A and B are shown apart, each in its own frame.
Chain A
Amino acid sequence: MTPGSPTEPVRRRRSTARHAAVLVGGAVFVMWAVATLTFFAIRLIPGDPAQAILGGPGSQASQEALDLVREEYGLDQPLVVQYLAMLGRLLTGDLGSSYALRVPVADLLAAQVGGTLLLAVLSLALAWMLALGLALWSTGRGRIAAAVGEGVELTAAALPHFWLAGVLIAVFSSGLGWLPPVATGTPAGLVLPVVTLAVPLAGFLAQVMRESLLDALEQPFVVSARARGESTAGVRLRHTIRHAALPGISLSGWALGWLLSGAVVVETIFAMPGLGRTLLQAVTLRDIPVVVGVVLFVALVYVVMTVVTDLVARVADPRLRQEGAR
């Protein structure tokens, strides 16, 4: 009720701590829910897991072999026991072993995760640069620039990955021959996959950023700043760019998760090793532990990024901290 009272900073620190506790609690709940849903959903897939372990549906394994495998993997136990066993394993960080490749899922993920994360993070960074550039360029510059900006954003946001990848390969690899059509493990090989993932995301981010940029440009503080002698460029740099970045920060958590799902398509098209391709192969082979592992990992990235972006947004926007205090 009385802003500026001496208890204010204490209250705010406490509210931030409580906010963090709520976020972490929520994150743990989401991970548990994802693990549980995935576990039971997999049981709904027709077919015998033991069969899959022994080389898939066509392997004609003997009854003894099947029984042996069932016992070894605990598949003869009641479902609840299996579920609790899985939760216990997950709590100790054990994701199990791949049926098809006979290696621990954790090792498999560790081998693949780097490439995919690099792809996603580079794409996110490129998308941010493109979006902020487009938003800053197309605002406060008259109707034509605004219309061009809007058109570019809308088109970019609507581009499907597979189509964009095809066009890029046709132009830059087959046509001009500047870049390799498949990932070669070199920086040049990363260019086309990163651009494919970044462009639609940039279109989407730019739409949101331009909206809040326009909003900020109309606020009285812009007049105040210019009345102090600030140039238009200075107003953008010191004032409105932050306001434009805020929704971008909040969306980045979601965006990274979205990029990981986009990676499934892009890694397949560009024949890149990575989580996306691993997931696709695991689903095809009914390699259940790998599927669970990848799903859990992606969920974890979503959750962590959401928590991180939320906390970053609270640092960047003091108003959020105050709302929490009320």
Chain B
Amino acid sequence: MTARADAAAAAPLLDVEGLRVAFDGREVVHGLSLRIMPGECVAIVGESGSGKSVTARSLLGLAGPGSTTTAERLEVLGRDLARAGEREWRGVRGRSIGLILQDALVSLDPLRPIGREIDDALRIHERMPPAERRTRVVDLLDRVGMPDPAAAAGRRSGELSGGLRQRALIAAALALDPPLLIADEPTTALDVTVQARILALLGEIRSRGTGILLISHDLAVVGGLADRILVMRGGRLVEEGPAEQVLRTPRHAYTRALIAAVPTDRARGERLSVSSAPVTGDGGSDDAVRTGDRPAPPARTAVGERPVLRLDGVTKTFPVPGGRLAAVDDVSLDVRRGETLGLVGESGSGKTTVARLALALTAPDAGEVLLDGRPWSSLPERERRPMRRRIGAVYQDALSSFDPRWSVRGILDDALGTVLPRAGRRERDRRVTQLLDQVGLAAPVGARRPLTLSGGQRQRVAIARALAAAPDVLICDEPVSALDVTIQAQILDLLEDLQRRDGLALLFISHDLGVVRHMSDRVAVMRSGRIVETGSSDDVFGSPQHPYTAQLVADAPRLAA
């Protein structure tokens, strides 16, 4: 490894100039230049639709069907690939460049054991006897920190946790020790502690001389690893430089907007989205989101005295072979008017079950949920139904919660049905327009269908729908986890504004510490169904008492201070 790194020290691993990628004649990457030296990590940062993933894939000749890639220069390890055919590319893929995709259940074939997936590169490129390949696969899994690598080789992706799947993906990319790795959002969708470990693993791989091209939408994630950062927008580089310079003294307004959008270590109430700049960046349909002409946020409503929503010693168990698993174990929480309670924890900690209990969608085995000091979870559903309008919910995946054939107006009108059952056509239309306006959507969006909206717009519609019934409490379950940081910033600002104006009580559930800290007055940290620590946001994150909280705080990615 080191010997090779020394020998190649002078020559770049990847040398690209004037890279252009077009789909069916429409150009999405407009002349990009990029150079990666051995042992160097270069990050491309930008939001969805900026062309960063297409760029990454075109460096493997895999831009996709209907694409044409041209470049003035495209050299990998000194080999000219600007006009390479499929056969030549196949020799490069896996051997010279390894690709690590974002973890998903299906980034590895769900029908094949991961060992076979890792073995692929060895089988394709090397004449190695099967026994030797098996040893190598186990070695690779061991190298990426897979517990019990021999047994893990026989597992399929569905049997592994997200972090372990990501490790398997990395092992597959490392199979032949390619001098260059391309990692496309390698830690998106992972819990913070897992993310920290994956980033550490990538750092370790780099220190052995491997060059890394890191693709991400989150500056905070790349900050700790990248030597150089390229900021990409609309298929062009808008800024490029050493990581520290880009993070500390960004020159371009867009880079500044990206940095401002990172919620970690930002005080409660501080604006995250850049509202006056022309940069709204909502998936290219800027005209539909009117963040520019919104008035300054209203003054905060005073936090109420009595809790609006209260969970009192709530326990919920699910049957598992050999007993019952307590998904939520003796949890007590309360949220007051005008206040945000953040609930933070990793996947599987029981956060979503708490949300379902609070919404009375599932009944607790012990304990009680109270709404406005009155029984809520113990009521029969029939008596609960008239009160349901007082508690709203916003989920992570807005799209799947809409009927795809309904227009946005139809969705909102339907939500109004329970509140204004006798209102006339005109009154309801007026209310729908008002709701769209409240969440910063222009009126024409009302005629569109959910599928044609960007992720941020969908989440705005979901919030408008939750607001239709004018609830007192809003349960937000990972409301921004599927969004880019810039869009996330807008949605967080929107929720903040709504709370200030209406005095909404928010139960804000997320695995992202930075987001929870920025949003919450008080925080509860959840682990394995139990609340391990609770207190004011500053206390809990400033001086964590529980070792688990301390670990979470330490692992959260932050912009280099």
Contacts and interface: CB of A to CB of B under 8 A. Distances in A.
Interface of A: 1-4, 7-8, 10-11, 14-15, 140, 219-221, 223-232, 234, 238-239, 242-243, 316-319, 322
Nearest to B175: A228
A234 B159 CA distance: 25
A140 B64 CA distance: 11
Contacts of A225: 109, 117, 120
Contact of B101 (A224, A229, A322): A224
Query: What 10 A-B pairs come out closest when comparing CB atoms?
Result: A227-B99, A229-B94, A228-B94, A229-B93, A228-B121, A221-B109, A220-B107, A219-B106, A229-B124, A228-B120
Given A14-B321, A221-B106, A234-B124, A8 B159 contact: yes
A9 to B, nearest CB: 10
A316 B111 CA distance: 7
Contacts of B327: 1
Contacts of B57: 223
Contacts, number: 106
A219 B111 CA distance: 13
Interface in B239-256: none
Nearest to A243: B111
A7 B169 CA distance: 25
A224 B107 contact: yes
Given A2-B348, A3-B160, A220-B104, 16 more contacts: A2-B161, A4-B164, A7-B321, A7-B322, A14-B321, A220-B101, A221-B108, A223-B99, A224-B101, A227-B62, A227-B93, A228-B94, A228-B120, A228-B175, A239-B111, A317-B111
A1 B101 contact: no
B110 interface: yes
Interface string B151-180: 000011011110010000100110100000
Given A1-B348, A220-B107, A318 B158 contact: yes
A223 B62 contact: yes
B60 A227 contact: yes
B120 A230 contact: yes
Contacts of A316: 111
Contacts of B546: none
B121 A229 contact: yes
Contacts of B160: 3-4
A223 B53 CA distance: 12
B298 interface: no
Contacts of B99: 223-224, 227-228
Contacts of A15: 321
B111 A242 contact: yes
A323 to B, nearest CB: 10
B112 A322 contact: no
Q: How large is the interface on B (under 10, 10 to 19, 20 to 34, 35 or more residues)?
A: 35 or more
Contacts of B65: 140
23 contacts: A1-B325, A1-B327, A1-B348, A2-B348, A3-B159, A3-B161, A221-B107, A221-B109, A221-B117, A224-B101, A225-B109, A226-B60, A227-B62, A227-B99, A228-B94, A228-B124, A228-B172, A229-B93, A229-B120, A239-B109, A242-B111, A316-B111, A318-B156
Contacts of A224: 99, 101, 107-108, 117, 169, 172
Contacts of B94: 227-229
Interface of B: 57, 60, 62, 65, 86, 90-95, 97-99, 101-102, 104, 106-112, 117, 120-121, 124-125, 155-156, 158-161, 164, 169, 172-173, 175, 320-322, 325, 327, 348
A136 B124 CA distance: 22
A229 B61 CA distance: 11
- Chain B CB within 10 Å, residue with most, of A227, A243, A319: A227
A227 to B, nearest CB: 4
Given A224-B117, A224-B172, A228-B121, A4 B109 contact: no
Contacts of B108: 221, 224
Contacts of B86: 231-232
- Chain B CB within 10 Å, residue with most, of A2, A220, A316, A319: A220
A229 B158 contact: no
B242 to A, nearest CB: 29
B124 A319 contact: no
A230 B86 CA distance: 11
A282 B117 CA distance: 57
Contacts of B348: 1-2
A229 B90 contact: yes
Contacts of B320: 1, 11
Contacts of A11: 320-321
Contacts of B109: 221, 225, 239
A252 to B, nearest CB: 18
Nearest to A231: B90
A9 B432 CA distance: 52
Nearest to B61: A226
A112 to B, nearest CB: 40
Contacts of B322: 7
A229 B125 contact: yes
Contact of A223 (B101, B112, B159): B101
Contacts of B93: 226-229
